[in-house]
Amino acid sequence: MLKYDLEIIKKCANNLMFDMSEKEYQVLLKEFEIITKQMELLGEIEGLNDVTPMTFPFDVYTSYLREDAEGECLEKEEVLMNAKDVLDGQIKLPKVVG
């Protein structure tokens, strides 16, 4: 795992155009050290790679949405017959981007 030091943090802050005091750099470095230790502890857990990642803390059921079901399709000529403006067999829409 990449170890963070003051030089890397200052370089990243400079790349992101952050201006911080020396005290703020020291606080940030300590926080990175804490996060790195926590990640190392997580890496020591046996069987962790066998667990499916959780994307949401509980199951969500959407009963208000219907299932997609294929229905009857319209013929191209029938659709174009109802269009206001047709160009080369396609519905012509107003320009959106200038």
Confidence at residue 26, expressed as pLDDT on a 0 to 100 scale: 93
> Would the pLDDT of 1 be above 70?
no
Domain extent listing, the chain: 6-49
Exposure letters 3-37 (e unless 16+ CB within 10 A, then b)? ebeeeebbeeeeeeeeeeeeeeeeebeeebeeeee
State in Å, rounded, how far the first CA of the chain is from the last one. 48
Q: Which of the four pLDDT bands, split at 50, 70 and 90, describes residue 90?
A: very high
Task: Answer yes or no: is pLDDT of 4 > 90.
Answer: no
> 21-79: per-residue pLDDT in tens?
999 999 999 999 999 999 899 889 998 888 888 888 888 777 788 888 888 999 999 99
SS3 label, residue 86:
strand
